[in-house]
Structure 1
Amino acid sequence: MRKTEVEEIVNGQRRLFLSGETLNFDFRRQQLASLRDMLEKFEGEIYHALKNDLNKSEYEAFTTEIGFLYSEIDFALKHLKDWMKPEKVSTPITHKGSKSFIHAEPYGVTLVIAPWNYPLHLALAPAIGAIAAGNTVVVKPSEFTQSTSAILSEMVQSTFDADYFTVVEGDKEISQQLLEQRWDYIFFTGSSRVGKIVMEQASRHLTHVTLELGGKSPAIIDKDAKIDLAAKRIVWGKFTNAGQTCVAPDYVYVNAKVKLKLLRAMKKHIKSFFGKFPLKNQDYVQIIGKEHFNRLNAFLSEGEVVHGGESDDEKLLIEPTILDKIDWENALMQEEIFGPILPIMTFNSLNDVISELKQKDKPLALYYFGENEEKQQHVMTNIAFGGGCVNDTLYHLANPHLPFGGTGESGMGAYHGKYSFDTFSHRKSILKQTTKFDIPFRYPGRKIAKAVVKRLMK
């Protein structure tokens, strides 16, 4: 794609937005309904694409990608009218006679840059918020999931006018061309390294950004946790999508008194979920590419393998693996793993864990397993992270009433449910003043004015 073509796409969307067509409720509702119909129409092709790119089963494709989008669209359709209503707020006595409102105003022309790990979900979930808020949308899918990128492009082009919603495929050169344009909002999901580039480019036009990044998300298992259930939920959260999930537990901190019990339980649940021979499981998700596979495969030589450890370089598969005798000096503890390898570290004092984690970069997620409510609150209060769960993993993502997003190195901004609408909306302040009377003390030149103003405002 030539640079002039990219410019034409952006200019076409800006003309449409400035026409005001995207602003009214009926238009937005119809576009959301069309998006849902599009997913239903192409659902079979989506399954095939995700199987081709990542070897996802239909079950995993629906539960982690398509189903989430249906829920988000339905939630937006149900609440959109209320979200669009001006929000009336209080006014102080100094503003007697006036009324104050907050209007949710769309930013305009928006860009969504999606990653490869959930190539449909993370391309369209932000777009739902952008559409609901009244913006136009350009989605740039990942070039590493070519089948999903192609079907995404096909179904969007067949459903929407390109001046309103379109998909631009291509490699990092296309991404660079897109980032050189003047956008009104950029929503990026991916690595911290690329997120910094996106933010730097956006700063050239003072463009608003949301960055959904990642980090090393810990799971802490205390001695009073229900170990079998904790193990089951950690195994599910870690090895879904072969660990290629930004909020997957990146490592486990377990109380030394229950470590062996936890390891036994995790081994049991890995076998239950993926079979005795995961590399022969036809529905086990593959690693996205050779480079990422080689990076992960190198980690298998660290520490002590207590489960798994086998890989298939032709099929790009790595078994669900648990590594023991790991510490912060190991190479796999220096970066987000983003694969089916789970390091185990032990602790004796919860406060020591908290002190340790407070010195690290703020993760996108944190999971604490334990029954003591005071300890639960202590962990949630004293460690900074994007979001997380007590006695579970990943499930906070599926609640549309909770914002999802990072903090610090793990990102900025949040979305899901109404938070997606809010992310793509500027909160515009409006004061409607009365003309039935005029308060005289606001103006200079009256002796009593100073005394009245000081009494009201001091």
Structure 2
Amino acid sequence: MAAETVSDLRKAFRSGKTKDIEYRIEQLTALKKLINENVEALTNAVFKDLGKCKTESMLFEIDMLETEIEECLKNIYKWTAPDYVSKTLMYKPMTCYINKEPLGVVLIIGAWNFPINLTLMPLIGAIVAGNCAIVKPSEISPVTAHLLAEMVPKYLDQECYRVVCGGVKETTEILEERFDKIFYTGSGNVGKIAMTAAAKFLTPVVLELGGKNPAYVSDDADLEITANRIAWAKFTNCGQFCIAPDHIICSKVVQDKLANCLKESIESFYGTVVAKSPDYGRIVNERHFERIEALLEDNCEIFFGGLRDKDTLFFSPTILLNVSKDAKCMQDEIFGPILPIVTVESEEEALEFVNSRPKPLSLYLFTSSGERIRKWRNETSSGSFAANDCVIQGGLSTLPFGGVGPSGTGNYHGKFSFEAFTHQKSCLEAPLRLVEGANHRMRYPPYTERKLAWARWIIFGKGGSCNIL
């Protein structure tokens, strides 16, 4: 089945229809129509899968997608136009440019925590770049997955865009096929599987993974504002958010004050009985509930929260104090509503702690010092960096979204989505009938020192040099 689907899409791509700019505009417009006409159905599906309130779905799923499509429609002619490059003397009679061409047939494997956004956002990039695509929604958010499988064929051209549902078996079958790019969002473990499958065909990949995103809170930070911003970012979508702060690093003095501020922030957001809040989500399924629950070791110091109900998948916002750097919750990405606070003796110890661990998807810093912001930005490595706020850097389409090292490879959003699914082909057009003067003949054998000097000057410019393989 997978082989047949890929074969059909290759045939459609070879027809050239997706290369037509007007066709791409038509498909993007249709995708926007899908979203606009089915807001209630989409947000209800996400609520059934994750208990996510409509406001969160509108902000992080619907509105982000609409904005992305609008930006693509606004810029498609500029992005797809050839980029003409500067030239040295020898190349003056020639036309030299970069041509933007689609890669071909791409595979997009979506994630369950934002099941609309993380499935359709990369599809927007594939469409605007002129590709055919297979879209595989996550089976862990089944209601949304089946809704997308039902809706997409009603709005998009089925010859060029297919949705395939299923679990591990179906994903494994799809990964046996050759694609021109694989775009995967999810865990690092499955990312390794996708990358291994891609390596068989030397297929390029974009891996949007995760990591333990640290938030360092300096002694000079405004703790009330810091608490509001960290609590909102951490507990949105019940902590199931790849760029949410995973843990806080601060001094012991800051920890004692910040913990109380975080408690106040949580209660102001969700009330004193969080389970009754219409704005607080749920854990996606029992397996993930058990995984998160296992992070609460017998000896961990729960300052706030820790309430949970497996039957309803409710897990309250939970703050842990004085957490050891070797604690169970500090080993892997939490991806849930547990917020450990690790104390350090100095800022240098905090930097050393961050730099000694795998590069995170995002790194956060709270401080009043511009010098400290520059220091942390320059002395750490992460997919993104934000000072005095969390998460919102992922909503600006002019910033690339992606990880580094174990937190991912490649990026997207806005023009970066177009580039993720585009081959930038170097093109040169030389006049064939032009009489060959000295600037051409000097590159032909037999060589002399004089020819070498002229060649270096004409081809590379005065004082220039280059290696030609």
CA contact (8 A) 1:91 1:99 kept: no
Residue correspondence of structure 1 range 256-295 to structure 2 within 5 A: 256-295=252-291
CA contact (8 A) 2:274 2:280 kept: yes
Distance 1:161 1:30 in 2: 10
Distance 1:79 1:350 in 2: 44
Equivalent residue number for residue 40 of structure 2: 44
Q: Render the CA deviation track for 1:241-298: whole Å, top value 9, x for unaligned.
A: 0000011100001233322221111111100111111122234211111111011112
CA apart distance, 1:455: 4.5
Distance 2:348 2:430 in 1: 55
Ranges in structure 1 where 5+ consecutive residues have no aligned partner: none
Equivalent residue number for residue 119 of structure 1: 115
Equivalent residue number for residue 369 of structure 1: 366
Of 317, 321, 330, which aligns to 1:324? 321
Give secondary structure in 1 for the equivalent of 2:201.
Answer: coil
Equivalent residue number for residue 91 of structure 2: 95
CA apart distance, 1:221: 0.5
Q: Structure 1 residues 137 and 455 mapped into 2: Cα distance closer, same or farther (>3 Å)?
A: closer
Equivalent residue number for residue 235 of structure 2: 239
CA apart distance, 1:451: 3.2
Equivalent residue number for residue 156 of structure 1: 152
Distance 2:251 2:100 in 1: 48
The yes-or-no answer on 1:351 pairing with 2:348 is yes
User: 301-310 or 149-158: which moved more?
Assistant: 301-310
Of 331, 335, 338, which aligns to 1:334? 331
Q: Render the CA deviation track for 1:298-353: whole Å, top value 9, x for unaligned.
A: 22335211111110111011000000120121111110000000000122321211
Equivalent residue number for residue 251 of structure 1: 247
Equivalent residue number for residue 76 of structure 2: 80
Give secondary structure in 2 for the equivalent of 1:158.
Answer: helix
Equivalent residue number for residue 451 of structure 1: 453
The yes-or-no answer on 1:414 pairing with 2:411 is yes
Equivalent residue number for residue 194 of structure 2: 198
Distance 1:240 1:311 in 2: 17
Distance 2:336 2:295 in 1: 10
Opposite residue 96 of structure 1, the aligned amino acid is K
Give secondary structure in 2 for the equivalent of 1:442.
Answer: coil
Opposite residue 404 of structure 1, the aligned amino acid is F
CA apart distance, 1:16: 0.7
Opposite residue 395 of structure 2, the aligned amino acid is A
Distance 2:186 2:453 in 1: 57
Distance 1:160 1:452 in 2: 57
Give secondary structure in 1 for the equivalent of 2:174.
Answer: helix
Give secondary structure in 1 for the equivalent of 2:319.
Answer: strand
Distance 1:86 1:204 in 2: 32
Distance 1:437 1:77 in 2: 45
Distance 1:209 1:61 in 2: 28
Distance 1:63 1:29 in 2: 24
CA apart distance, 1:449: 2.0
Give secondary structure in 1 for the equivalent of 2:101.
Answer: strand
Opposite residue 411 of structure 1, the aligned amino acid is G
Q: Structure 1 residues 339 and 92 mapped into 2: Cα distance closer, same or farther (>3 Å)?
A: same
CA contact (8 A) 1:279 1:312 kept: no
CA contact (8 A) 1:49 1:151 kept: yes
The yes-or-no answer on 1:59 pairing with 2:61 is no
Distance 2:15 2:381 in 1: 43
CA contact (8 A) 2:27 2:157 kept: no
Opposite residue 409 of structure 1, the aligned amino acid is P
CA contact (8 A) 2:184 2:194 kept: yes
Distance 1:20 1:226 in 2: 57
Equivalent residue number for residue 161 of structure 2: 165
Residue correspondence of structure 1 range 403-442 to structure 2 within 5 A: 403-435=400-432, 436-438=434-436, 439-442=440-443
Distance 1:213 1:20 in 2: 33
Q: Render the CA deviation track for 1:66-118: whole Å, top value 9, x for unaligned.
A: 11101111111111110001011112234332232111111000110011111
Q: Structure 1 residues 454 and 59 mapped into 2: Cα distance closer, same or farther (>3 Å)?
A: closer
CA apart distance, 1:446: 6.1
TM-score, normalised relative to structure 2 = 0.94
Give secondary structure in 2 for the equivalent of 1:299.
Answer: coil
Q: Render the CA deviation track for 1:131-168: whole Å, top value 9, x for unaligned.
A: 00000111101111111001111110111232211110
TM-score, normalised relative to structure 1 = 0.97
Opposite residue 318 of structure 2, the aligned amino acid is T
Give secondary structure in 2 for the equivalent of 1:239.
Answer: helix
Equivalent residue number for residue 178 of structure 1: 174
Equivalent residue number for residue 129 of structure 2: 133
Give secondary structure in 1 for the equivalent of 2:155.
Answer: coil
Q: Structure 1 residues 100 and 315 mapped into 2: Cα distance closer, same or farther (>3 Å)?
A: same
CA apart distance, 1:384: 0.7
Equivalent residue number for residue 224 of structure 2: 228
Equivalent residue number for residue 314 of structure 1: 311
CA contact (8 A) 2:323 2:343 kept: no
Opposite residue 130 of structure 2, the aligned amino acid is G
Distance 1:265 1:437 in 2: 78
Distance 1:188 1:325 in 2: 36
Distance 2:55 2:20 in 1: 37
CA apart distance, 1:434: 3.1
Opposite residue 366 of structure 1, the aligned amino acid is L
Distance 1:294 1:446 in 2: 74
